[in-house]
Amino acid sequence: MLSGDISDDAVLDLVGAIYDTALDGSRWANVLARIDDAIGGRILFGVYDPANGLSSLLSPRIDPDRVQDLLGWAPRNPLLPLGIGRAPGEVFTIGDFITRDAFTATEYYNEWWQPAGFDTEPLTTNLLVDHNATGILTSHRPSNLSPYDGKARRLFATLAQHLVRAVAIQRRTHQLDITGRAALAGLDGLDQGFILADAQAHPAFVNRRARALLEGGDSIMLEAGTLGAVKAEDGLRLRALIGSCSTDNPERIGGEMSLLRPSGRMPLHVQVTPVGSEWAENAMPLASAWRSSAMVLITDPEPGANARLEALRERYGLTRAEAAFALEIIKGGGRKATAERLGITDGTARSHLSKIFDKTGVNRQAELVRLLLQR
């Protein structure tokens, strides 16, 4: 049991519903209400991504008029800028930034927050942190109830990781009609590689971009009909991530990794997420005997990254390696996670970060991320 009376099976079902929602945005309100019930709070979900045509502010259990009032408070909301530097999926609360007394003295608290009946220890995570896009999820605890306990916090943290991936999927696929029989054919229009695979990493569907990457032989590849990589250790890790999405695994965690390219080109970013069973059955109605476990999204950072990389080099005098590190650290996880994604040692990452601090004039990773996102 992870929280209250919710069972491991119920958590698994909720995670599956989250990924179904990523592929059918009309389900968000229902899923958010289920998260409310599981955690015992009042969820507020917001995504603003004009480049991809996404803009949502949803809360199934908060008065709609109060939710709309929140938009007018944006310029005077002291909480909005505080979590900008936090990585997507990292859970934080108000007390991580300001004291309770400082917050309760604000106009925002007294005129919007307190009348809504919320306590001062909400659970919050960034859903996305991008150049011109933001996404945030907050679970407000009613003030007449005791604060969130450890079980509720752990459940929120678990679901946050899946919600971050679900939003990432929705950003890439929201323009497609992916809820019916034409779903998989439509995925050929994605710029990202898209693969559906079973728990043993056997691909059942490969879109146009993923097929090109597989045939290119510079990163991801097929080994005896199984997904792998040019570097054996990368192949093992990829298959482990796909295997973790098996329906036999109660947690179905998935994950992210980078695939190094022997040619020296920038690593591919790979995101592995569990597939909701209902969506898979709708998308592949003629393959009812086959049960998908994972979707694999593969992003080649080079097309847009080169321009951003050169801009950083020109603006701050960074070397190419330093600029690439700066762009990668924006994705979150800190120095060590960035080093792992780039395939460099922590010592090299520490050296890059020190030089980037010197050249940009900042002293902390959060300040660096904020600086880069504002450019």
Name which of 236, 231, 90 is nearest 153 in CA terms: 90
From residue 74, alpha-carbon distances to 121, 172, 247, 326 in Å are: 20, 27, 42, 29
**Is the Cβ–Cβ distance between 255 and 248 less than 8 Å?**
no
Beta bridge partners of 271: 256, 297
Largest CA distance in the chain: 64
- In tens, the pLDDT along 224-276 reads 889 999 999 999 999 999 998 886 766 667 788 888 888 777 788 888 888 75
DSSP class of 248: T
Query: Quick count: other Cβ atoms within 10 Å of Cβ 219?
Result: 24
Q: How far apart are the two ends of the chain, measured CA to CA in Å? A: 44
What is residue 92's predicted lDDT score, i.e. its pLDDT?
A: 92
- In tens, the pLDDT along 303-323 reads 656 667 777 888 889 998 898
**Is the Cβ–Cβ distance between 236 and 223 less than 8 Å?**
no
What is residue 303's predicted lDDT score, i.e. its pLDDT?
A: 64
What does each of the 375 residues of the chain score in pLDDT, given as a tens digit? Answer: 344 467 777 887 788 788 778 777 788 889 999 999 999 999 999 887 666 566 678 899 999 888 888 888 878 888 888 887 788 888 999 998 899 999 999 999 999 999 999 999 999 999 887 766 788 999 999 999 999 998 899 899 989 988 888 887 777 665 444 444 445 555 676 778 888 888 889 888 888 889 999 988 888 999 888 999 999 999 999 999 999 888 676 666 778 888 888 877 778 888 888 875 554 445 444 333 345 578 888 888 766 566 677 778 888 899 988 988 888 887 666 888 888 878 899 999 999 999 999 999 888 887 787 777 554
Name which of 374, 272, 273 is nearest 330 in CA terms: 374
From residue 82, alpha-carbon distances to 97, 124, 153 in Å are: 7, 11, 20
